Structure 1
């Protein structure tokens, strides 16, 4: 069935699925579909309506053989398709496994239904590549099959749908709210990358074996970085009516609030087992009208109200009702401005704190305080009673209270305007506001910059804060000149910086960061000097001071002033040590600079000590620091390997691999480097088989993510080829080395040591048409440039000596190295003749 005919079936299904069975059958007969289309539509209606959703926890329920069976057993790149997982409105999803034996792991491969949607698919690929958060299913690979059909390889999330998981685990009310908070954090990350989901529902929210939520299928996300106006027309057809916001049903502009509306419905259902706009399921056919014109049914009118009150208290139930009513408001501007705002309100409910979505009376606030701190209940009650009879309050106290109240209101209004700024950018991305063209991120920032000057002239302080944020976004996009010009204009013209010295310091620090990205270290230091002068007028602010010091240290280190950088880093660390509990990230940054400075100075023991401190802190910080933990475990292990602590190095490399696999997945790019290090450490210990296994996995990951020509892929292949050669497997070693030398046999890396290493190994393996017949002058020169007490120098000396090399003497040298290479030593012992 061609895509257009299938799309007719898909649209008909969306219409009929909302009718009862009798009405659906009657309507089906009147549709202008051919017999094949009607048969497929009948099959779909006979199945559960959710058959078109991605249901990774019940794959056997989701087979549509008429469309998908031909894919099973196919090989897509290195992936072998095993079975159908599901059919979505935008694509077909299959379970697959890597077939080449380099590593094992299941993935989900998604193909589009519509051949005409190539541009949309490219947008989906770009979106997923930007979304790198533990709560979002990861992109692993992408490409086209032998028929030109685009596909994505995504993380396969085994688990249960969020609603089924809650029922199976008999999850408490608080646990269900906690899962939604976790989901909102993931969605907030997507929104920060200018990606909307558009189709959030229980079947896209999977709870894995560890009890963590994963958001699936950003395949119909309304991306904001494309240039194809067809995207809006294509994507607009795809949403699930049960979780659709009013603006989706009516075809109005969508935005952040659209995703939050859907999640509010999901949470409402998790708590009540009912839809917020339906009295019961018999009213499903009226759902669209209810969402467009009705009001959500209050929680207090649901049968679950008693259990909700028991879990949260009557005040907590009213708070939760107010929060959900706000998220489900028909008017998008009345909803939460961000996913984090929604999450923070739910956090307040769990912490028994007042929410911002409603204003409880003072008596309710007092009772809430007593519940949170029962040990002061008597004193609190007396104080509350005293409020009834207190007749006089000092004039100064009233004036001070008014000032604090006015300041709080002013700050709240400013925060609201700041949140609204991002929301307005999403709305302006609609093609209807862009002459039918979907704007790029740069277009949005241009508009934001214009809106900034037009709408915030009455509040220079707000304008300055938003300008710093806007400039940082330009910097992140690589538009360094734009970012620098924006900050320089702000510093020169905005009067708020003369009054708010902290903000001035932040602006100068942002300018220094941009200049650092341009490697203009002298100009960066000039901006940091100005930041320091601004901070002289500001008491406290240890985190900001420390961050400015860290920027200064990096500038000094990059201008070969390492000795000057060290006391600056130490000062930053001293500022942050008392804040270890509240600002661990900032302290870790300072420790990392200390470790780096020590390493560059050759003080490897001190560098190792610093990394040990970092790793200890990150282990205590939980899921939020897993990515940093992988990096710093890898750094620690690399130093340990270099100073000969090989057992410790292997232990820490293994931990890095395990944490990386849990955090990113075993086939993610971030998992490649720890495996490379682990393979080399195992090689130094003489454990050939596991060493080769780790190096093969690392090389395969780099090739998948970066392509075989990327320097990282080539270096992993070089180390793999070298290790295979030492193990006597010359045939496979040649295959790996030929990948390294394929495009440029002489200088594949444009790096002296690596190029030297590759040429010598080609000579050892005598690759046809590539290897020199004898070492040339360049090879001899680079060999002599290496220190004599390294395993690489021993290896090259062996190769240069040929059959006449004194292998015993070389083996003795290899065994006395500070970081010996046992595989090299074993190979020397094994060899008795020529190469």
Structure 2
């Protein structure tokens, strides 16, 4: 009893509060929830201690009986089988295959309180017919049970409705068991169907209306269903609704004793069913109300009285879908709340009224109100209101009302338009005057007041103009914010990034204060600042600003959202987050196509192609850039900088695809346009020179590439300064071409300066820092400082291994450099261990490049040759030769190195004829190569030495 006492102390306040509120049903439910979890042996004592009211106790016992664990669904299957058939049948499977009437039993479909239902098939006909065959379970042979079952047969035989499962046959088995043969419905519960089909609110309401009309037919035949719930309303694959199971139906003219039979499903039962009251058509209306509530919200109503459905929607939650995915169509919470509020709220609450006389009188009355809702007519559940009826009239007769109102408003509109146009004209005139006055004053300020070497630079004029705009911003903040943004863009494009960022940051901060966060002028100021931060390599500030701007943009600001996505994709590309860059660049491109802005479309096409190149989708990048070239030529003319950039992009794609002739043609076209429209110091020219340098590198014109890289470095130093990423990248290029030309001191100086710049900007472990560190290490090793060179290489490799998402391609390149270093030091065992790790990395790739496999095979063969394992070396070289043939763009150095090594191995194995053939093939290819590496020259000497008689 101590257990009961503790429960009373903890929970009896729930009973008291329910009693104070007059919530009889709520108190009864609270009692039920506590009693149902108690062991059956302890329930009686607990009820005696806590429930004194006789009627309340009877209702509670009724509920507990309905939920009793000894009910039909909880009885073992074998026990049911014994009730369903003669004594010799002890298993349900014993009925499978038996024939009842004209039907053979196929399998068990389900079990209920009065009967078991089987799938049956008609026997002896030339057509196939499946049915649901219901047999009364043994043990329900009381007069009342017999009468209810026979009544169901009579009731169903008299019902004819397309949405009520029809009765086909009925009778009594040889064992004396009554049975019904019903239409078989292969469907799912209505709530499950609505959820799976993601039906919206109106579709669910129309589905519910079908149920109401079916129940209405039963009511007109003086039948109350009494157990309306989703499992008794199935929807088949064609979307047809069927109302099932009149096994607990009762006729209205039955005697009072039968009217109180407590057969119901807790959770769907009306209060009068729970309390043992009189059952009427209003009882089914309550069940329909519960069903409608569950269809709309995905859950049954709680409390008495029930809350308005719309009040249960948490419209403040994050995201665009409700928490419960079963609710109407997974609609936005705000939209769902708006649709439910008003008529549907009132309809549901009227159907769920605790007192039967306050509900709809029948399912037909409920159906009429549902139709009124769907037709935008006033519903009877809404309190009387002239304003409400007027609003419904307007919605229903929108066309006529709009026409009438339009005629009335036309006169006012004409007058208003004239006044509005006058106002707009005055605003535009004031804006134009402000800009004119400002520009005049700005250029006046640019006049020299003291001797100077020459005319002022454009950046000097712009900086003075921006200071002037800052001082005058208070008089017209919108105009001057626009001016600051445009002038800041000029500074940015002229390469003066520090000044541009300073002015643009001040402009953005002031615009937020004066105009608000989501004003289009404020957002444009933010986008220009974001672009400057990205170009300056300040990715941390750029990411913070991106997140801020994202929170400021509203859903309807399509142009602003497209600009943000464009800048965010640019930032993600710089941060090597290619997955995000690809998604955002494609979304920005899709939005830009809906805007009438040729310049922005050009920019987004360029960004999309850049990201496609970086993810190695060269086919898509080519199509995007071809579209860009055509669009820019049409919109801006053939001699425009945007057209030059499109040519530069195509050059890059053709180079990566192996078509060096086309790559060179397009980059030369870009530089020809640059020569006409840009100064020699413009940073945009440096971008195109970089593309030329990459073509020269692929052509093995290392001297030309070094000269181009040096010119790019000169321009970027002027534009960005000494410690910016572009400058550091140029230093790395200068260093690497000096390495390829054998100018090691100059190479080491340039690479060390690049490494220091990247470390200062990004830290020692950043990917670009690792790339430069590896190049620096390789240069040190080539100059003879193999100890420090190897240390730098291993540092770079370790940095990549510690990345959250290591770049496998970069790891392979770095370890390949280390393998070469070990081979040059004649350390074949260490080299083989490194080659093994490279092979493991290649195996992780979804589509390994055969050229990579050729590289590792050559390195393995070289190590084996140093170990004098000639047979194994020959096998590795054969593998390398095969892989080179499979490669799309085979490495020309490897194509020479393989036959030269084969010549050496063949000599070691005594095959001098093969050795001479291999040596001749390798030397012929070497003779045609421009700027061959010294390594290949040493191999030629070695192969010639081994072929001496």
Q: Which has the higher contact order (CA 8 A, sep 6+)?
A: 1
Structure 2 length as normaliser, TM-score?
Answer: 0.36
TM-score for both structures, normalised by structure 1: 0.40
Q: Which entry has the higher C-alpha Rg, 1 or 2?
A: 2
